[in-house]
Amino acid sequence: MKKFIMNNSIELKNKVVLVTGGSQGIGSAICTSMAACGANVVINYHTHKESAENLAISLHNLYGVRALSFGADISNPEEVAKMFSFIDENFSQLDVLVNNAGCETVAHAIHLDLAVWDKIFDVNLKGAFHCAQLAGRRMVEKKTGVIINISSIHDKVPRKGLVHYCSSKAALNMMTKCLALELAEHNIRVVAVCPGAIETEMNREEINEFGRDKFNNWIPLGKVGVVDDVAWTCAFLASERASYITATELYIDGGYKESTIPYDPRPKR
């Protein structure tokens, strides 16, 4: 019988990780979990420059890793190209890409401006693909790498007012599977992480106004998730401990996706 070494840590020492949309919320937590496991981190931001710079300083001070920030709108191909050139100049490698940047708006489908539809897809799908494409080229050279696409339970669970967002996440998950099949021959894994109701500083007030108890009743595990639930899953997937996981979707939702029918017909004990 094979003897396993007793080591529960997630090891990412000397890896270089790019997290898009990494300056706040889930993205910031992912940057932190990666750094805590020893990875050097590139924190992409679009509008929150100060938050990204402060996070980079904190990660270096806390974990002794290299952490750099870079501003780029991932829907802009020229800015994405500059970001990857920045990584080449500062690290000469890229081991993990986390496509976390995304955007969401709410609108009635029949009144949805097509420019808004395009913006959602430009960020959530085209931007993620372009980043994966440039990351993949670098990973192919080294015959190793991991791409993690942050999707949503709304790839499969429809919502009123979010036809454009839900459609973009469904497309992102199919993109994940296609990339995984193509890149597997180069020892590159591609997976999708699909969060459910996750509390962040940005949506905390909205959750409270809507009713936290409602979410707690709807979610089988009885609670809204926190950013670390997603972040540590990503760190695991980026590590060798997940070396046989690719072309799949992992739902981080406390069972929320499967709980569309709250009626319980079981007899009382």
- Alpha-carbon torsion (13, 193, 140, 128), positive or negative: negative
Average pLDDT over residues 51-64: 98
The answer to whether residues 35 and 41 touch, using CB atoms and an 8 Å cutoff, is: yes
Q: Which residue, among 22, 19, 59, 56, has the nearest Cα to 37 in the 3D structure?
A: 59
Average pLDDT over residues 154-174: 97
User: pLDDT digit string (tens) for 82-138?
Assistant: 999 999 999 999 999 999 999 999 999 999 999 999 999 999 999 999 999 999 999
The answer to whether residues 146 and 200 touch, using CB atoms and an 8 Å cutoff, is: no
Query: Residue 8: what pLDDT?
Result: 58
Q: Annotated catalytic, 165? A: yes
User: pTM for this structure?
Assistant: 0.95
**CATH class (in words) of the domain with range 16-253:** alpha beta
3-state secondary structure 37-62: CCCEEEEEECCCHHHHHHHHHHHHHH
User: pLDDT digit string (tens) for 193-216?
Assistant: 999 999 998 889 889 998 899 889
The CA–CA distances, whole Å, from 234 to 57, 120, 138, 192, 250 equal 22, 23, 20, 10, 10
Query: Residue 192: what pLDDT?
Result: 98
- C-alpha triplet 48, 51, 54: angle, nearest 5°: 145
Helix (H, G, I), strand (E, B) or coil at 72: coil
Mean pLDDT of the chain: 95
Catalytic residue among 45, 63, 165, 256: 165
- Judged against a pLDDT cut of 50, whether residue 4 lies above it is answered with no
Residue extents of the structural domains in the chain? 16-253
